[in-house]
Amino acid sequence: MKRLALVGAGLIGREHAALIAAHPGASLEAICDPSPEAAEFARRMGAPFHADLQSMLDATRPDGVIVALPNQLHEPVALACIERGLPCLVEKPVADTIEAAFAIVQASERTGVPVLVGHQRRHSPDIRAAKSTIDEGALGPLVAVNGMTLFDKPDGYFVDWRRKAGGGVLLINLIHDIDVLRWLVGEIESVRAFTSSAVRGFEVEDTASLAIRFENGALGTFVISDAAVSPWAWEYTSGQALYHPTQPGACLFLAGRKASLSVSDLYLWRHDKPDGDWQDPLLREHRAPERSRTYVNQLDHFLDVIGGDAAPLTSARDGMLTLAATLAVARAGRENRSVTVAEMLAEAGALS
C-alpha cells in the first residue's frame, strides 16, 4: 500500500483524490490546500487536512505526492518534494516557464528522485495502441500527420486567468496534443503557426493552426480551437476524458510509408500487396484497444514509479520539452515566423 499526499484540491485535485480513494494499492494520507472548500472536501474524504506544505510533509511522511496546483506553484512544491526524496506526480504543464521546468529537471536528475508529469494521454488505451502500432513498424517510417482539437467551451469557463497569458487554448489544451505528437511521432524541431483571438476577443488565443517539422523528417499539421462545435478532439473520441461525452471517431491521422492509422478509432489502412500504390485498393483493419481507464492507468504507473518498478513515462524533462514546443507555437504565431524548440530552450538556459 502506497501512502499518497495531495497538494491542491481544486478541479483536478479532487479527481486525483477520488482515484486514490478507489485504488486498492493506495491510500490518501493527507490533503494540503489553504482554501476552506478544500478543508471541507478533506473532511468528506476522511483525509487529514493541512494548510501548509511543510507541516503536512513533516506530519504525514508520504511515499509520494500529487501536485495539482496552479501552474506557477508547481516548481517550488516539486522542488520541496524532491528535496525530501519524495517522488511526485506533477500536473501539466510541469511548470509555468521553461526556466522553472528546467529547475525541476535538474533537481530530479541530480537526486534521482522521479517526477511524473500529468500528461495522462500517454496512459490512454488508444494512444498506447497507436504507440505500439508505430513501434512494431506497422506504419513504416512516418511521413505526415494531421490532427485536430476542436470543441466549444462555455462562456462561464473563461474566468479571469483563462482570458490572460498562460490561460489560452495553447497552454491549457494544445500542450496535451503536443505531448502526444512528441510521444508518437518524435521530437519536434520547429513550428510555424497562425494564432487568433478573433472569435472570443480575449487577450489569449482561442484558435490556432500549426505546421510542424519533426526531427526525424516527418511533417505535421494541427488545428485547435476552444470556440468551434465539432466531435474532433481526443476528449470526445477516446471516451477517456473526465468531463466530456464520448463521440467515437478520430482526431489524429498518422501516415507512414507502409500504412496509416487513425486515432482514437484505430483503423489501420494498408495495401493488400507489398508493391501496392495509389491505384490499388486499401484494406482497412481495426485494432481494438485494451479496456482500461487513462487516469487509473496513470495512477497505477505512479505507484510503480514510487516503488522503483518503472521510470516515469513522462519525466520532468519530457514535460519541459513539451512545454518548450508549446511555447514555440505561441511565439511562432506572435512573431509570424518559424520557431525552433532549440531556440526556446537556449533562451531559457535549458539546453543541457
Ligand X SMILES: NC(=O)c1ccc[n+]([C@@H]2O[C@H](COP(=O)([O-])OP(=O)(O)OC[C@H]3O[C@@H](n4cnc5c(N)ncnc54)[C@H](O)[C@@H]3O)[C@@H](O)[C@H]2O)c1
Least distance (Å) from ligand X to the CB of residue 89?
10
Residue nearest to ligand X according to CB distances in the complex: 10
Least distance (Å) from ligand X to the CB of residue 70?
6
- The stretch near ligand X (CB under 6 A) out of 11-19, 97-105, 137-145, 314-322 is 11-19
- All three cell numbers of 209, joined, read 493552426
User: Between residues 113 and 323, which has the closer beta carbon with respect to ligand X?
Assistant: 323
Least distance (Å) from ligand X to the CB of residue 293?
13
Q: Does 117 help bind ligand X (rule: CB under 6 A)?
A: no
Q: Which of 118, 125, 239, 289 contacts ligand X by CB under 6 A?
A: 118
User: Between residues 32 and 328, which has the closer beta carbon with respect to ligand X?
Assistant: 32
Least distance (Å) from ligand X to the CB of residue 52?
8
User: Between residues 1 and 11, which has the closer beta carbon with respect to ligand X?
Assistant: 11
Q: Does 12 help bind ligand X (rule: CB under 6 A)?
A: yes
Q: Which of 16, 92, 200, 270 contacts ligand X by CB under 6 A?
A: 92
- All three cell numbers of 16, joined, read 486525483
Q: Does 319 help bind ligand X (rule: CB under 6 A)?
A: no
- The stretch near ligand X (CB under 6 A) out of 29-37, 106-114, 268-276, 336-344 is 29-37
User: Between residues 87 and 93, which has the closer beta carbon with respect to ligand X?
Assistant: 93
User: Between residues 49 and 267, which has the closer beta carbon with respect to ligand X?
Assistant: 49
The residue count for binding ligand X (CB under 6 A) is 21
Least distance (Å) from ligand X to the CB of residue 274?
42
Q: Does 116 help bind ligand X (rule: CB under 6 A)?
A: no
User: Between residues 160 and 275, which has the closer beta carbon with respect to ligand X?
Assistant: 160
Q: Which amino acid is at 1?
A: M
Q: Does 296 help bind ligand X (rule: CB under 6 A)?
A: no
Residues 6+ positions from 200 with CB-CB distance below 8 Å: 158, 206, 226, 227
Q: Which of 32, 101, 188, 305 contacts ligand X by CB under 6 A?
A: 32
Nearest of 266, 302, 269, 12 to residue 127 by alpha carbon? 266
Least distance (Å) from ligand X to the CB of residue 306?
19
Least distance (Å) from ligand X to the CB of residue 73?
5
Task: Return the residues of window 48-77 that contact ligand X according to CB under 6 A.
Answer: 68-71, 73
User: Between residues 7 and 98, which has the closer beta carbon with respect to ligand X?
Assistant: 7
Burial label for 24, CB within 10 Å (0-12, 13-18, 19+), is exposed
Q: Which of 11, 296, 311, 351 contacts ligand X by CB under 6 A?
A: 11
Q: Which of 4, 9, 101, 145 contacts ligand X by CB under 6 A?
A: 9
Helix (H), strand (E), coil (C) string for the chain? CEEEEEECCCHHHHHHHHHHHHCCCEEEEEEECCCHHHHHHHHHHCCCEECCHHHHHHHHCCCEEEECCCHHHHHHHHHHHHHCCCCEEECCCCCCCHHHHHHHHHHHHHHCCCEEECCHHHHCHHHHHHHHHHHCCCCCCEEEEEEEEECECCHHHCCHHHHCCCCCHHHHHHHHHHHHHHHHCCCEEEEEEEEECCCCCCCCCCEEEEEEEECCCCEEEEEEECECCCCCCHHHHCCCCCCCCCCCCEEEEEEECCEEEEEECCEEEEECCCCCCCCCCEEEEECCCCCCCHHHHHHHHHHHHHCCCCCCCCCHHHHHHHHHHHHHHHHHHHHCCCEEHHHHHHHCCCCC
> Which residues lie near ligand X (CB under 6 A)?
7-13, 32-35, 38, 68-71, 73, 91-92, 118, 120
